[in-house]
Structure 1
Amino acid sequence: MKLIFALICISISLNTYAQNSKNTADMLFAKGNFTKAIEAYKSIKNLDEVYDKIAKAYIAIGNYGKGLEYYKKALTAHPEDALLKYEYAQLLTKTKNYEVSNQLFRDLIKTDILNPNYHYELGLVLEKQRDTTSLDAYKTTYNLDSTHQKAIFKIAKHSLQKRKFEDAHKLIDKGLESYDQNIELISLKAQAYYHQEYYTHSVVWFKKLLELGEASEFIHEKLSLSYAENSDYEDAIYHRKEALKYNPYDANAIFVIGTYYERLNNFEMAEEYVSNALKIKDVSLSHEYQRLGTILNRQKKYEKAIKAFQKSLKEDPSNIMSEFFLIRTKDEFYADIDSKIKLYEDYLKKKEKSPFKTYAETRLKELKQEKFIEQD
């Protein structure tokens, strides 16, 4: 009798110890002390019950290899546990084991064909495998759950890429009905309007992203471009400058700001930004120097404009626009009428097929008449 009582006490003691060990491990896990939690779980006698916990702890510290190893052990111990299989398949996808995760999700779908997440996760795998049937999986997800935000995003994004804007808007609006602050769907909405060239609408939706704290170079750049298309150059300048904060040496963005200032007739600021862009660029600058020359001309800084057009031609000798602008600027700058006449005569000899030939001939005629009058 005493022996039986002793065995019962030992059994109770062992169970209590095992339970206490599991509770300790669970507490360590809950507090984020994952390495200690792993040690505590491994000290438990019946590991079959905690393999999944060990796997999750390894995943939490970024050791996906060990996570896979212990999920596999958990599934061996509990082969019918759908949740374990689902989590293991997700980890396989994350670690690019697509063939295995593909099969596991297909197995899960066979057991519960009406589970929308099984279809969505399979879609993610198929997409990674560059299998176009991924879209079918996302559509099945949506048909099973019309509020599934991630599936809606995937289908709407595909519609946008195919320029099926009406389909994209319908899906996005459906998604926003159930969650009106979905950043991804709002971004798609803004981009759809932008690509449709409905710039007033795109401004509204890109600004929603800013209101939700989603500021980025992309958003500010698209806002700037949208405002510019509506000739709102002050707002366009503001947002392009905000975009520059993410990439301060973006010569193209700096140059564009200069062109916006030019549209506002603020030629001093236009000159500053275009000049700064030129300092940064290391490719052919013919067009940029040409633009700088025209800005300088608007300020009647003819001597500086001449140098800009000369630099433009040095960058690209075939730039006929800069070549002609150079002559026109010299025409404005030179005081000697004979020098002006020679400019156009030399130009017409060299450029018989120039698109500016008629203008050059007319201007030459005017100059000769002026000279004749002066001589009289």
Structure 2
Amino acid sequence: MIRLIFIFLLLVFKTEAQTSVLNVADSLFAHGNYSKAIAQYKAYNNPPEVYHKIAKAYIAIGNYDEALINYEKGVETNPKNTLLKYDYGKFLYRTKKFKKASEVFNKLVYTDYKNPNFHYELGLVLEQLKDSTAQNRFFSAFKLDSTHQKAIYKIAKFHLKKGHNKLVDKYIDIGLSSYKNNKQLISLKAQNYYVRHQYENAIVWFEKLLELGESSAFIHEKLSLSYAQLYEFEKAIEQRKLVLKINPLDATSIYVIGTYYEELADFKKAEEYLWKALALLDKPLDAEYMKLATVLNRQKKYKESIEALKTAINENPLNEIASFHLALTLSTYYADYDAKIKAFEDFKKKFPKGKLIPFVNNQISILKEEKFLNVQKKKD
């Protein structure tokens, strides 16, 4: 009898001791002492019960190989533990083992077809595998849970890429009805208006993103472009300058700001920004130098404009428009009629079959007539 009592007490002691080991391990994990927690878990006498905990601890310290080993042991020894398999599948997705992850989530979907998250996670994996049936899984998740924000986003984004604008509106509105401040859906809604050239509506939704604390070069750029389409160039400039706060060397934004200042007839500012952009841009710049020349001409800086146009032509010798603008600017800059006429004659030699030849011939005729009248006036 005493022996039985002793054995019983020994078993109770061991059980309590193991419970204590587990409690200590859980406490260490909760407080971020992951390596010490792993050591405690490994001292526990029922490994199948703690494999998933060891795996999570290894993930926390960045040892994914050991995490994988322990997840696999956990799944093998707990074949009916659905939650463990779910975590295992997400781990496989996270570590880019997409084929294996698809196998895990396919089995989970088969086990519990009415769980929307199983469909959603499988959709994510299939998306990475370039499997077109990914959308079917996102749609299944949505059908099982019409408030599933992540599934709705995936569906709406897919239709936006396909140009199915009405379907985009439909799914976004459903999503926003249950979560009105979903930033991802609001961004898609703004983009959906933008691609349809409904700029006033696009502005409303891009501005809403800013109100919710979102700020990115993409948002400010699209707002700027939308305002410009509505001829609100001051606001367009303001938004483009916010892009420059994020990326000070964004040559395209600097150039666009210059063109907006030109629209506002602030040619001094336009010139300033266009010069800055040209210093940064690394591509054929004939169009940009032509824009600069236009701004310089508006300020009657003809000599500088001529140099800008010559640079544009050097960038692209076949740019007929640049050569024509050079002839026009030279004819304005020169006082001598022969020099004016020569500027257009040089254009004709370079582009004998150019589309602008009729206009150039007309300009030459006008200049020759003006020259004749001027000579006659001096004789009189």
Counterpart Cα distance in 2 of 1:342 and 1:97: 71
What one-letter code is carried by the residue in structure 1 that aligns with 2:76?
Answer: T
| Superposed displacement of residue 272, structure 1 | 0.8
Which residue of structure 2 lines up, in the alignment, with residue 286 of structure 1? Answer: 286
Counterpart Cα distance in 2 of 1:347 and 1:99: 64
| Superposed displacement of residue 80, structure 1 | 0.9
SS in 2 for 1:305: helix
Which residue of structure 2 lines up, in the alignment, with residue 212 of structure 1? Answer: 212
Counterpart Cα distance in 1 of 2:152 and 2:370: 73
Which residue of structure 2 lines up, in the alignment, with residue 179 of structure 1? Answer: 179
Alignment of 1:85-104 (within 5 A): 85-104=85-104
What one-letter code is carried by the residue in structure 2 that aligns with 1:371?
Answer: K
SS in 2 for 1:151: helix
What one-letter code is carried by the residue in structure 2 that aligns with 1:268?
Answer: K
Counterpart Cα distance in 1 of 2:103 and 2:112: 14
Alignment of 1:252-267 (within 5 A): 252-267=252-267
When residues 67 and 365 of structure 1 are mapped into structure 2, their CA distance, relative to the original with a 3 A threshold, is: same
Residues 206 and 223 in structure 2, CA contact (< 8 A), matched pair in contact too: yes
Which residue of structure 1 lines up, in the alignment, with residue 362 of structure 2? Answer: 362
TM-align CA RMSD: 1.6
SS in 1 for 2:6: helix
Counterpart Cα distance in 2 of 1:341 and 1:141: 74
Moved more, 13-22 or 92-101: 92-101
| Superposed displacement of residue 197, structure 1 | 0.8
**Structure 2 length as normaliser, TM-score?**
0.94
When residues 353 and 76 of structure 1 are mapped into structure 2, their CA distance, relative to the original with a 3 A threshold, is: closer
Counterpart Cα distance in 2 of 1:206 and 1:131: 32
| Superposed displacement of residue 365, structure 1 | 2.5
Moved more, 301-310 or 15-24: 15-24
Alignment of 1:1-376 (within 5 A): 1-376=1-376
Deviations 1:70-126 (A, max 9, x none): 122222222111111111122122222223222222222222211111111111121
Counterpart Cα distance in 2 of 1:194 and 1:255: 22
When residues 241 and 78 of structure 1 are mapped into structure 2, their CA distance, relative to the original with a 3 A threshold, is: same
Residues 75 and 84 in structure 2, CA contact (< 8 A), matched pair in contact too: yes
Counterpart Cα distance in 1 of 2:341 and 2:83: 88
Residues 102 and 125 in structure 2, CA contact (< 8 A), matched pair in contact too: yes
| Superposed displacement of residue 152, structure 1 | 0.6
Identity across matched positions, percent: 48
| Superposed displacement of residue 185, structure 1 | 0.8
| Superposed displacement of residue 319, structure 1 | 1.1
Counterpart Cα distance in 2 of 1:342 and 1:102: 74
| Superposed displacement of residue 66, structure 1 | 1.5
| Superposed displacement of residue 192, structure 1 | 0.7
Deviations 1:314-371 (A, max 9, x none): 1111111111111111111111223223333444455443333233233323322322
Q: Report how many residues are paired.
A: 376
When residues 65 and 353 of structure 1 are mapped into structure 2, their CA distance, relative to the original with a 3 A threshold, is: same
Counterpart Cα distance in 1 of 2:104 and 2:373: 95
Counterpart Cα distance in 1 of 2:100 and 2:344: 76
| Superposed displacement of residue 175, structure 1 | 0.4
Specify every segment of 5 or more residues in structure 1 that has no aligned partner in the other structure, as ranges. none
When residues 14 and 299 of structure 1 are mapped into structure 2, their CA distance, relative to the original with a 3 A threshold, is: same
SS in 2 for 1:70: helix
SS in 1 for 2:132: coil
What one-letter code is carried by the residue in structure 2 that aligns with 1:324?
Answer: F
What one-letter code is carried by the residue in structure 1 that aligns with 2:236?
Answer: A
| Superposed displacement of residue 238, structure 1 | 1.1
Specify every segment of 5 or more residues in structure 2 that has no aligned partner in the other structure, as ranges. none
What one-letter code is carried by the residue in structure 2 that aligns with 1:129?
Answer: L
When residues 345 and 111 of structure 1 are mapped into structure 2, their CA distance, relative to the original with a 3 A threshold, is: closer
Deviations 1:210-231 (A, max 9, x none): 1112211111111111111111
| Superposed displacement of residue 156, structure 1 | 0.8
Counterpart Cα distance in 2 of 1:357 and 1:45: 94
What one-letter code is carried by the residue in structure 2 that aligns with 1:224?
Answer: S
SS in 2 for 1:245: helix
What one-letter code is carried by the residue in structure 2 that aligns with 1:50?
Answer: V
Residues 244 and 250 in structure 2, CA contact (< 8 A), matched pair in contact too: yes
| Superposed displacement of residue 16, structure 1 | 1.6
Moved more, 295-304 or 248-257: 248-257
Counterpart Cα distance in 1 of 2:342 and 2:109: 85
What one-letter code is carried by the residue in structure 2 that aligns with 1:171?
Answer: Y
**Structure 1 length as normaliser, TM-score?**
0.95
Counterpart Cα distance in 2 of 1:346 and 1:87: 75
Residues 323 and 347 in structure 2, CA contact (< 8 A), matched pair in contact too: no
What one-letter code is carried by the residue in structure 1 that aligns with 2:335?
Answer: A
SS in 1 for 2:204: helix
Moved more, 331-340 or 182-191: 331-340
| Superposed displacement of residue 308, structure 1 | 0.7
